[in-house]
């Protein structure tokens, strides 16, 4: 967990998605049927599936709210509870580290995959909380394991606002988020590399529209090769779930006039129930690139703003201190020797210092 102290040195682009998936898996008890978060998610999936009538995507086993009462024996309960609390703390610390990191273009680009996965998970947690509100015990168990109230929403809004400066929010993006529909039409768009990492997980049953992975292209190519449009697609993904959270939960709000996210603790929850389905974009795909993008930024601020505005505040410019010339001591002459009465000196001879003394390094000519 050293990356929590040095987030700039962490390889978010390569390790962010595995970190998110591993943390979430630990909170779910790695698939345990008695895990309270897993039981709440199964129940929420059942309710959503019944409402959207997508029987083909229903899980094989759906736990009922009463299953939460038949948990592990009392001797194992405390240990299980402790492990869940540790998993929750690591998950929250990782997420908060990302949203609080210095908002430069390179970091925003590298963290988009991690943020897209985490915002997708948090969105489903909020949906599960709403689906279980009629069962007090199940709802309480969900909030104890991972409650939305524990998230630093002000930092989430700040991250999204920095992203908006690099990737403006379009009208279609807002409309799709309000309606809870995909950003792409059927047959359009391609899965992002991180989509294969969360495909089929209990909290991602409704994260993708039907047929999202039905493509004739090589799956290994889609998993490992990023196109030039991948960064914009990831930015739209993060903004989409940010908008869904703003429109469907009381934790975030979005001002369409200024295109800014904010937190409003007195905002009432939305009374409109929206179905869970992911996103798409109308932007045309750009030519593919064989190499996975590294630190080269693909996102850029709007043309109306100067190109350096997104990173000018990332550094503090300190003037280089001026070096003072050192004056060599005046050499001793016979005149000074006679005047001071000191012992005559021979011409100074340079000698090579011994290794290990005075921490000096000798460089032979």
Tell me whether residue 248 is in a domain.
Answer: yes
Task: State the residue range of the domain holding 29.
Answer: 10-292
Cα separation, 212 vs 209, in Å, equals 6
Give the model's confidence band at 303: pLDDT under 50 very low, under 70 low, under 90 confident, else very high. low
Strand partners, 254: 261
Contact assessment for residue 239 and residue 164, using Cβ atoms and an 8 Å cutoff:
yes
Look at the pTM and tell me if it is higher than 0.75.
no
Cα separation, 36 vs 140, in Å, equals 9
Give the model's confidence band at 122: pLDDT under 50 very low, under 70 low, under 90 confident, else very high. very high
Contact assessment for residue 225 and residue 287, using Cβ atoms and an 8 Å cutoff:
no
Over 60: is that where the pLDDT of 352 sits?
A: no
Tell me whether residue 343 is in a domain.
Answer: no
- For all residues of the chain together, what is the average pLDDT? 74
Total structural domains in the chain?
1
CB atoms within 10 A of CB 149: 8
Lowest mean pLDDT among 29-33, 41-45, 67-71: 67-71
Cα separation, 38 vs 32, in Å, equals 7
Contact assessment for residue 59 and residue 45, using Cβ atoms and an 8 Å cutoff:
yes
Tell me whether residue 348 is in a domain.
Answer: no
Cα separation, 342 vs 162, in Å, equals 73
Over 70: is that where the pLDDT of 103 sits?
A: yes
CB atoms within 10 A of CB 356: 7
Strand partners, 255: 260
Q: Are strands 260-262 and 253-255 parallel, antiparallel or unpaired?
A: antiparallel
Tell me whether residue 283 is in a domain.
Answer: yes
Question: Phi first, then psi: what are they for 107, rounded to 5°?
Answer: -65, -45
Question: Phi first, then psi: what are they for 28, rounded to 5°?
Answer: -85, 10
Contact assessment for residue 48 and residue 131, using Cβ atoms and an 8 Å cutoff:
yes
Residues 125-146: pLDDT tens digits?
Answer: 999 999 888 888 888 888 878 8
CB atoms within 10 A of CB 203: 23
Contact assessment for residue 17 and residue 118, using Cβ atoms and an 8 Å cutoff:
no
First to last CA, the chain: 47
Tell me whether residue 15 is in a domain.
Answer: yes
Tell me whether residue 360 is in a domain.
Answer: no
Tell me whether residue 223 is in a domain.
Answer: yes
Tell me whether residue 21 is in a domain.
Answer: yes
What confidence score (pLDDT) does residue 298 get?
56
Residues 322-337: pLDDT tens digits?
Answer: 555 555 555 555 455 4
């Amino acid at each position: 967990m050293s990356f929590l102290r040095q987030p700039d040195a962490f390889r978010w682009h390569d390790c962010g998605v595995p970190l998110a998936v591993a943390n979430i898996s630990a909170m779910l008890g790695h698939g345990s049927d008695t895990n309270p978060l897993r039981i709440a998610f199964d129940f929420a999936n059942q309710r959503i599936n019944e409402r959207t009538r997508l029987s083909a995507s229903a899980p094989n086993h759906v736990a009922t709210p009463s299953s939460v009462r038949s948990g592990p024996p009392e001797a194992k309960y405390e240990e299980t509870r402790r492990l869940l609390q540790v998993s929750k703390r690591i998950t929250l610390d990782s997420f908060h580290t990302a949203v609080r990191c210095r908002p430069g273009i390179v970091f925003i680009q590298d963290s988009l995959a991690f943020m897209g996965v985490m915002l997708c998970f948090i969105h489903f947690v909020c949906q599960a909380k709403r689906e279980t509100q009629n069962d007090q015990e199940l709802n309480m168990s969900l909030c104890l394991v991972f409650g939305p109230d524990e998230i630093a929403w002000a930092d989430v809004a700040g991250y999204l606002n920095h992203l908006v400066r690099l990737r403006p929010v379009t009208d279609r993006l807002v409309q799709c988020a309000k309606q809870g529909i995909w950003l792409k039409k059927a047959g359009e768009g391609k899965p992002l590399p991180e989509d294969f990492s969360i495909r089929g997980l209990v909290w991602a049953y409704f994260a993708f529209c039907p047929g999202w992975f039905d493509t004739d292209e090589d799956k290994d190519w889609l998993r490992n090769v990023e196109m030039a449009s991948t960064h914009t697609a990831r930015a739209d993904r993060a903004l989409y779930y940010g908008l869904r959270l703003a429109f469907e939960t009381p934790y975030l709000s979005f001002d369409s006039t200024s295109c800014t996210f904010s937190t409003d603790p007195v905002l009432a929850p939305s009374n409109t129930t929206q179905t869970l389905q992911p996103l798409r974009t109308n932007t045309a795909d750009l030519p593919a690139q064989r190499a996975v993008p590294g630190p080269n930024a693909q996102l850029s601020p709007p043309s109306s703003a100067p190109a350096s505005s997104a990173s000018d505040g990332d550094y503090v410019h300190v003037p280089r201190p001026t070096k003072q010339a050192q004056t060599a001591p005046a050499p001793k002459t016979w005149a000074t020797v006679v005047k001071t009465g000191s012992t005559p000196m021979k011409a100074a001879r340079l000698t090579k210092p011994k290794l290990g003394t005075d921490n000096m390094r000798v460089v032979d000519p």
